[in-house]
Amino acid sequence: MTALLTKDARRVDATDARIAALELPKGGFTGPARADALKRLRAMGLPVRRDEYWKFTDPTALNAHEPTAAPALPLIEPLLFANRDRVSLVFTDGVFDSEASDDLALAGVEIHRLAEADRADIHWARDLYGVLEARGQMPVARPFAALNTAAATDGVLIRVTGKAEKPLHIYYNHSGDFSDAIVHHCIRVEPGAELTLLETGPAAARFNKVLEVDVAEGGRFHHVRAQGRDHARRAVTHVFARVGREALFKSFTLTVNGALTRNEAVIEIVGDNAVAHVAGAALGDGKDGKYHHDDTVFVTHDAVACESRQVFKKVLKNGATGVFQGKILVKPAAQKTDGYQISQSLLLDDDSQFLAKPELEIYADDVKCSHGSTTGAIDETALFYLRSRGIPIEDAKTLLILSFLADAIAEIDDADIAADIVARLEGWLARRRG
Amino acid sequence: MLEIKNLHVELEEEGKPILKGVNLTVEAGKVHAIMGPNGSGKSTLSYVLSGRDGYAVTEGGATLDGEELLEMEPEERAAAGLFLAFQYPVEIPGVGNMTFLRTAVNAQRKARGEEELSAGEFLKAVREKAKTLKIDAEMLKRPVNVGFSGGEKKRNEILQMAMLEPRMCILDETDSGLDVDAMKLVAEGVNALRDPSRAFLVITHYQRLLDHIKPDVVHIMADGRIVKTGGPELALEVEKNGYADIVAELA
Ligand SMILES: Nc1ncnc2c1ncn2[C@@H]1O[C@H](COP(=O)(O)OP(=O)(O)O)[C@@H](O)[C@H]1O
Ligand SMILES: [Mg+2]
């Protein structure tokens, strides 16, 4: 049973009204999962500010029946990863665009479009769609994920059976000022298989995305995502991962701009000797309007000798807000757990703020877990040292900001992809000097 | 080359006077040493000259080749040819030593309107200079000064100086924390840079560094002033009798 939020009539009414305003796909084989999700959503209700997990982030704009306007800004840099060998899938305002996408053929990978696959019965996806999301509702309710499962109109179902020869790149193009996209992807990495998933693009005026990833025994999954550009966009995203024996799950997110971004990662480590890392680098400049970025992470260890790392860094200026809520839960059976969590912010002025809630809950006795959270400004001594060697102040600041972010970027295994991300960071910092 | 005239400096926050009228002229090609008891203002002088925040100049000034030094930003002073080897070199986690060096060298070249060094040219120069200072490849790869021993940090300062080829070099207690071998390495690094167009201001608490880097002029600083100036024999006098005699004799 899902942990109940404070139940009250207003919440029930608001939730019912929101559901009534949605166009709910019936779904083919996903139908039962969608119906269950709707039940879950009604039971927990949409979030309100006084809920424990929403006290730092106001869910009002995510709850609203209609999104607030968010114009799509013209591109000022080439598309990220465009020069890398990859299979590219394009969604515009949350709708798959087959014209703009590559052929969905990639050796070792089976790709179906959710909107079409629903008519068939894809048994492996039936065991996944809404399943990890439902598991992730305990012990913390995640109403927008349940809403997504019930209402998602598009997405992809990906089954990885071998080592994919190149990364899969999903580009989320944003077009309409009021686009409201609900996208749901499922990925099953079969035993010993491996995939790198890249996700980029501003997506929509309002974007609700769920990614369910099941990494079976010995499988490897790398995820690198960049959310960006459009200043007024709002997004609530969830990654639900289940990590099996000796499997590897690694996810890195770069977020620049955006009025509101809430990224939840819910990771359940279920097989021995598995590794799961989640990392994020967020850069916010309140000069362009509101910037509010929230990373909410929950890692559950339920197997022996597993390693988890959470590395989240935020660079904030001009009234930007960063939030980190991260938890490591070590269940009684999860002996020899190695858990690590760090959340840090670099505030470039006095107007910006970082709100952090790090949590550890440990029920096994032979574990190694550590967590830390810091907030600080640019180190003046280091800045002077660099300048005294002739490095101009803004270049020196950029070096120090990049060095602050280095531990998060180090979580990207592929050096070329990491270099692309660093180049994006440098571009962003160069445009926002002073 | 460097001319300091009646320089008065106080701590900005506390308004506490530290330098109380420093006069000093260092000519091109010369090595001047400043010795003095702890707390006399030697490091303050080096910081004020290189442009660190937190100090207020209340009177006097300093010029480098006739240009007002104290009005320039720290990076402009560096590009103009000033270099300070820090008493306490700063650790910068996350910034690789090589990246740091290359950024600094090229920033200065750019500021002077010179062509940037190619990656190959740069690498060759660093390797060569690092070798003479016994700085190995592994140290070059590490983040700036992170995990370096005291001696490694000081050698790294001299490597930066060798790469940047400044014309006015200030060394603040570069000998402190060094064993004899490390001190010889550092001194050799400095002596290799001696040149008719380059000047050195060597700040030290002890005479021993001056056995290896032979000064032309020795100044004694006490309580924010240069209280005595002489030749190399002045350093030997300090070594024998300490500062107390000199300071007392002036009082
Ligand atoms: N940032 C500072 N805050 C407080 N006191 C300072 C600061 N910098 C220097 N001082 C004081 O100024 C005096 C001179 O210090 P310093 O220049 O470091 O001397 P030296 O290098 O000759 O040992 C000392 O009394 C020291 O305590
Ligand atoms: Mg000193």
pTM of the model: 0.92
A388-405 pLDDT per residue, tens: 999 999 999 999 999 999
CA distance A402 to chain B (A): 8
Who contacts A121 (Cβ-Cβ below 8 Å, separation ≥6)?
A28, A29
Contact residues, chain A, for B111 at CB < 8 Å = 390, 392
Q: In what order do the strands lie in the sheet with A180-189?
A: A109-113, A156-160, A180-189, A206-215, A234-243, A260-269, A292-301, A321-330, A353-362
| Residue of A390, A402, A404 lying closest to B111 (CB–CB) | A390
The stretch A212-236 carries a mean pLDDT of: 95
The stretch A258-275 carries a mean pLDDT of: 97
Who contacts A390 (Cβ-Cβ below 8 Å, separation ≥6)?
B75, B78, B79, B104, B107, B108, B111, B164
Beta strand pairing call for B92-96 and B143-144: antiparallel
Q: What does the DSSP assignment read for A312-371?
A: EEEEEETT-EEEEEEEEEE-TT-TT-EEEEEEEEEESSSS-EEEEEEEEEE--SS-EEEE
For residue B17, the one-letter residue type is: P
* Strand, helix or coil for residue A57: coil
For a mutational test of ligand 1's pocket, the pick from B8, B11, B18, i.e. the residue with the most ligand atoms closer than 8 A to its C-beta, is B18
- Count CB neighbours of A351 within 10 A: 13
Who contacts A15 (Cβ-Cβ below 8 Å, separation ≥6)?
A41, A42, A45, A46, A143
Question: What pLDDT does A229 receive?
Answer: 78
**Distance separating alpha carbons of residues A125 and A196, to the nearest angstrom:** 19
Q: Which residue of B has its CA nearest to A390?
A: B75
Q: Is the CB of B192 under 6 A from ligand 1?
A: no
Q: Which residue of A has its CA nearest to B161?
A: A389
Nearest to B198 by CA among B169, B172, B174, B236: B169
**Distance separating alpha carbons of residues A318 and A71, to the nearest angstrom:** 21
Contact residues, chain A, for B90 at CB < 8 Å = 381-382, 384-385
Atom index in ligand 1 nearest the CA of residue B13 equals: 3
**Which residue in the block uniquely carries the two structure tokens 């929403």?**
A54
Contact residues, chain A, for B94 at CB < 8 Å = 400, 402-404, 406-407
- Count CB neighbours of A20 within 10 A: 9
Ligand nearest to the CA of B11: 1
Before A139, cis peptide (omega within 30)? yes
What is the DSSP-derived secondary structure letter of residue A281?
A: E
Question: Per CB distance under 8 Å, which residues of B are interface residues toward A?
Answer: 50-53, 73-75, 77-79, 83-84, 86, 89-95, 99-100, 103-104, 107-108, 111, 143, 160, 164
Q: Is the CB of B18 under 6 A from ligand 1?
A: yes
- Count CB neighbours of A71 within 10 A: 14
Question: What pLDDT does A434 receive?
Answer: 72
Q: A282 versus A74: which is more confidently predicted?
A: A282
The stretch B8-12 carries a mean pLDDT of: 96
Nearest to A291 by CA among A263, A258, A324: A258
B94–A381 C-beta distance less than 8 A:
no
Contact residues, chain B, for A382 at CB < 8 Å = 90-92
Who contacts B26 (Cβ-Cβ below 8 Å, separation ≥6)?
B1, B2, B3, B32, B168, B199, B200, B201
Nearest to A387 by CA among B52, B148, B166, B145: B52
What is the CA A400 to chain-centroid distance, rounded?
Answer: 26
The stretch A361-381 carries a mean pLDDT of: 96
Nearest to A62 by CA among A244, A250, A258: A258
Ligand nearest to the CA of B45: 1
**Distance separating alpha carbons of residues B144 and B101, to the nearest angstrom:** 9
Nearest to B1 by CA among B42, B49, B41: B49
Look at ligand 1, atom 6, and give the residue with the nearest C-alpha.
B11
pLDDT over 50 (residue A1): no
Contact residues, chain A, for B89 at CB < 8 Å = 385
pLDDT over 70 (residue B251): no
For residue B88, the one-letter residue type is: Y
Question: What pLDDT does B250 receive?
Answer: 66
Interface membership of A385 toward B (CB under 8 Å) = yes
**Distance separating alpha carbons of residues A78 and B113, to the nearest angstrom:** 31
Who contacts A293 (Cβ-Cβ below 8 Å, separation ≥6)?
A255, A258, A261, A263, A282, A284, A314, A320, A321, A322, A323
For chain A, what is the mean pLDDT? 94
Yes or no: say if B139 and B156 are a contact pair by the CB < 8 Å rule. yes
| CA dihedral of residues A57, A54, A226, A356 (deg, nearest 10) | 80
Report residue A237: phi and psi, to 5°: -125, 150
* Strand, helix or coil for residue A420: helix
CA distance A393 to chain B (A): 8
| Residue of B53, B77, B92 lying closest to A385 (CB–CB) | B92
B83-117 pLDDT per residue, tens: 999 999 999 998 999 999 999 999 999 998 999 99
Contact residues, chain A, for B164 at CB < 8 Å = 389-390
| Residue of B73, B90, B94 lying closest to A403 (CB–CB) | B94
Q: Is the CB of B147 under 6 A from ligand 1?
A: no
**Distance separating alpha carbons of residues B197 and B166, to the nearest angstrom:** 10
Least confident of A16-25, B88-97, B233-242: B233-242
**Which residue in the block uniquely carries the two structure tokens 């009002």?**
A60
* Strand, helix or coil for residue A206: strand
Q: Which residue of B has its CA nearest to A398?
A: B95
A384–B93 C-beta distance less than 8 A:
no
The stretch B226-250 carries a mean pLDDT of: 84
Question: What pLDDT does B242 receive?
Answer: 81
Interface membership of A391 toward B (CB under 8 Å) = yes
Q: How far is the CA of A258 from the centre of ligand 2 (A)?
A: 48
Atom index in ligand 1 nearest the CA of residue B47 equals: 17
- The residue among A387, A393, A409 with the most chain B CBs within 10 A of its CB, best to mutate, is A387
Question: What pLDDT does A113 receive?
Answer: 94
Nearest to B191 by CA among B219, B211, B218: B211
Atom index in ligand 1 nearest the CA of residue B40 equals: 22
**Distance separating alpha carbons of residues A301 and A298, to the nearest angstrom:** 10
**Distance separating alpha carbons of residues A372 and A359, to the nearest angstrom:** 10
Contact residues, chain A, for B75 at CB < 8 Å = 387-388, 390-393, 396
The complex scores an ipTM of 0.96
For residue A211, the one-letter residue type is: L
Yes or no: say if A336 and A366 are a contact pair by the CB < 8 Å rule. yes
Number of A to B CB contacts under 8 A, please give it: 77
Would you call A70 exposed, middle or buried from its count of C-beta atoms within 10 A (0-12, 13-18, 19+)?
buried
Q: Report A:403-422 residues touching B (Cβ under 8 A).
A: 403-404, 406-407
Q: How far is the CA of A392 from the centre of ligand 1 (A)?
A: 27
pLDDT over 70 (residue A321): yes
